[in-house]
Structure 1
Amino acid sequence: MFFLMLRQSFVRGWRRKALATATIVLAASLITALMNISIDVGDKMAKELKSYGANINIVPKSESISLEIGGTYYNPLEGQVFIEEADLPKIKEIFWHNNIVGFAPFLKVRAAIAGRGKKTIPLVGTNFDKPVSLAGDEEFRTGVRVINPYWQVQGEWPADSDQVGILAGAALGRKLNLKVGERIRVMIAGANGREEVFAIKGILSTGGPEEAALLAPLPAVQKLARLEGKVQSVSVSALTVPEDKLSRKARQSSDALNLLEYDRWYCTAYVSSITHQIEEAIPNVTARPIWQVATGEGAVINKIQLLMLVVTLAAFIASGLGISSLMVATIMERAREIGLTKALGAADWEVYLLFLSEAA
């Protein structure tokens, strides 16, 4: 009798059953899609946010040692210790090497432009878009064009192999009336310096301190300063996950982590774990997270993932309300049938079982 009633309910109420099935299918599809988006949105947003600059800065270890006198920090070794340029490919050999989007080395010296006053200005040597060979014949591109794609140049970018091409910052160009195509004689300050004639290839707009400097290919500045193979700092752009309780604990001291926590922290792409691995790979350097960038990225990603979770829960609740509404309508329509069934001796649990079977 029970199975006969169950079969007849499907025959008589097939439209309602089809509507319920469609509701479940649509809700399941929506929830699955939103869950996939919420899982993947972190990586996609991290890649998009990388276009706004580096989130790690590498400097010589001596740069992190300073003396405070009267509220002012002094470092007698500042500018005296350098990073070996030959060690930079090791950045792509760390555990999270696939998360390294790019890096750019910098060598900054003081210089003056002949005929434009005696005041010195920063001359920054860097790579613009330079290929670097890695282990296994893999090629990786480095430079400021990779880690700062929002930088704009009026004119053209100098080639890294060009020893005379140079970029003038927009603010410096306005101040000294520098024009694209103009040739300038740049003199390095100090006894070890030399002078060189450069051709301005473009005017650089960044919205940062680079607008008050001259940017030249790294080998040209190294040659002028007689610092071949040396760099002062390296900016690294890396894909990271938002900070949490474990990473904040590791920031205070990685020695405070137990073995299980250390393994989890080391094998997660926190910005702090990536900087730790860089310090392991390159001797005598300190890798510092740029917390303004890293924290901002983490906050944006967390909010987007929370939004996806809320929308997923809303879809789940809406589908549940839809199914429950259909069940209530079915019960109201079949009130007489329920009464007759109970009058014939059916127990409450048998009535419940009938409707649960139909819902299932």
Structure 2
Amino acid sequence: MLLRLILQSWRRQHRRRLLAVFTIFLAATLVSALLAVSIDIGDKMARELKTYGANILVEPASQSVLPELFGDAGHNPLAGQDFLDEKELPNIKDIFWRNNIVGFAPELNGLVRFGQHEIEIEGTFFDHAIVVPDEEDYRTGQKILSPYWQVSGAWPDDTQPQVLAGQALADQLGLQVDQPITLQAGSQRLTFTISGILRSGGAEDQRLLMPLRYAQQLLDLPGKIQRVRVSALTVPENALSRKARQDLDALTAQEYDLWYCTAYVSSIAHQLEDAISGSAVRPIWQVAASEGVVIEKIQLLLAVVTLVALVASAMGIASLMTSNLLERAREIGLMKALGAELWQIGLLFYAEAALSGLIGGLAGCVAGWGCAWLIGMTLFGNPLSFAWLVVPVVVLLSVLIALIGTWFPARQIARLYPVEVLYGR
């Protein structure tokens, strides 16, 4: 009987039913798209934020005990007294969170002579191939770590004696692209070609950057590096990560396991310290903290918009159902006169609303997936992954907002008296 009444109601009031379904459909589309975005936005935004530089610094243990009293590490007067071994660089991609390592670049700084001038050089990787487990043709370097660098000309080839000249240094010495320059340090003397002019907005603008192997040869430091900058995908800090940051030994065994197996910047730094002997690894907190704050604020904004969409659709359903109640007052009065109980009449209204929510929710999931795909392609250049968990969540929310929107009109049924409504009062 209930099913027959629902079908008759849909046939007689199909326009109003379709309007209710469309209202829920719009809300479900927005909610499913926002849920899909919020689930995948963390990784996507983290990868986008990686374009602003490294968030972990690896240094020799003896060097890291000095706070940054001297500003940039390259200007530390004690830098260079201790070194890391270049052979241990593949260990960076052999930690528990190796798949979260976006890239890394070693650095070796020193002073050399160019004619009558003493200039600073920096050896690093630009686009360097490294043999790492389970990854064929893995390449890393400043092209991945510092894509915001502006290079006029070409990036140096890691296998050729080529250099990038910092913009400020090039202006000072009159250096130009394709110009050969000869550098000398002690008894070592090498000739390079300037492949490009670099504008980074940092200390690199005052340096000559060259492939690491040639800097090691020029400075007579084979296989040595001073520091490694690492870019890793991380999750925002919470109470557990802050507790570990203050005192790792204060964690219980269970807390330690949870912290270690979560991609906090501090836990990744801890694993890197274990992987590279004689090193001290510290997060660059300015970068790491800003990434977490940005992602948290975006997710909070998405949650607020989702809540507003749910409230708006519930109010729309309430308005539709109230109008529906007024139109069907005589029908309800007749049902009461024939002995129908209030809960039976209410059940009819709730069943109609639930069916509208179910249809609108399912259609909204499909449309929401399309919106999420479009958002991913527009903002990030590749589609967002649509988690199937979103489907039952959105359908359940759609049914709930339809039922909530029906609650107030359903309460008005008790105030309808058969005699009044049947006589049109």
Distance (whole Å) between structure 1 residues aligned to residue 352 and residue 68 of structure 2: 77
Shift of 1:26: 3.6
Q: How does 1:9-158 map to 2 (within 5 A)?
A: 9-66=9-66, 78-115=79-116, 117=117, 120-136=118-134, 138-158=136-156
- SS of corresponding position for 1:138: strand
- Name the counterpart of 1:297: 291
- Name the counterpart of 1:181: 178
CA deviations on 1:202-258 (whole Å, 9 max, x unpaired) are: 211111000001111111111111110010000111111111111111111221111
Tell me which of 241, 246, 250 is aligned to 2:244. 250
Tell me which of 159, 162, 165 is aligned to 2:162. 165
Q: Does the CA-based 8 Å contact 2:64-2:280 persist in structure 1?
A: yes
Judged with a 3 Å threshold, the aligned counterparts in structure 2 of structure 1 residues 39 and 6 are, in CA distance, closer, same or farther, namely: closer
Aligned-residue Cα RMSD (Å) equals 2.2
Q: How does 1:271-286 map to 2 (within 5 A)?
A: 271-286=265-280
Q: Which runs of 5+ in 2 are unaligned?
A: 70-75, 355-425
Q: Does the CA-based 8 Å contact 2:60-2:278 persist in structure 1?
A: yes
Distance (whole Å) between structure 2 residues aligned to residue 91 and residue 268 of structure 1: 17
CA deviations on 1:159-201 (whole Å, 9 max, x unpaired) are: 1111x3112110011112222222223222xxx5523222222
Judged with a 3 Å threshold, the aligned counterparts in structure 2 of structure 1 residues 274 and 13 are, in CA distance, closer, same or farther, namely: same
Distance (whole Å) between structure 2 residues aligned to residue 14 and residue 157 of structure 1: 66
Distance (whole Å) between structure 2 residues aligned to residue 221 and residue 352 of structure 1: 81
Tell me which of 203, 207, 214 is aligned to 2:208. 214
Normalising by structure 1, report the TM-score.
0.90
Q: Does the CA-based 8 Å contact 2:46-2:233 persist in structure 1?
A: yes
Judged with a 3 Å threshold, the aligned counterparts in structure 2 of structure 1 residues 286 and 326 are, in CA distance, closer, same or farther, namely: same
Distance (whole Å) between structure 2 residues aligned to residue 334 and residue 112 of structure 1: 94
Shift of 1:7: 4.8
CA deviations on 1:42-63 (whole Å, 9 max, x unpaired) are: 1111111111111111100111
- SS of corresponding position for 1:54: coil
Shift of 1:139: 2.2
- Name the counterpart of 2:193: 199
Judged with a 3 Å threshold, the aligned counterparts in structure 2 of structure 1 residues 346 and 218 are, in CA distance, closer, same or farther, namely: same
Shift of 1:344: 4.0
Q: Which amino acid aligns with 1:14?
A: H
Q: Does the CA-based 8 Å contact 1:193-1:225 persist in structure 2?
A: no
Q: Which has the higher helix share?
A: 2
Shift of 1:91: 0.3
Q: Does the CA-based 8 Å contact 1:61-1:286 persist in structure 2?
A: yes
Judged with a 3 Å threshold, the aligned counterparts in structure 2 of structure 1 residues 153 and 8 are, in CA distance, closer, same or farther, namely: closer
- Name the counterpart of 1:340: 334
Distance (whole Å) between structure 1 residues aligned to residue 212 and residue 13 of structure 2: 77
Shift of 1:339: 3.0
Distance (whole Å) between structure 1 residues aligned to residue 18 and residue 206 of structure 2: 69
Q: Which runs of 5+ in 1 are unaligned?
A: 70-74
Shift of 1:76: 8.9
Q: Which piece of structure 1 moves more, 232-241 or 317-326?
A: 317-326
Q: What fraction of aligned residue pairs are identical, expressed as a percent?
A: 54
Q: Does the CA-based 8 Å contact 2:79-2:226 persist in structure 1?
A: no
- SS of corresponding position for 1:255: helix
Shift of 1:347: 3.3
**Residue 315 (structure 1) aligned with residue 297 (structure 2):** no
Judged with a 3 Å threshold, the aligned counterparts in structure 2 of structure 1 residues 226 and 256 are, in CA distance, closer, same or farther, namely: same
- Name the counterpart of 1:72: none
Shift of 1:323: 1.8
Shift of 1:292: 1.2
Q: Does the CA-based 8 Å contact 1:112-1:187 persist in structure 2?
A: yes
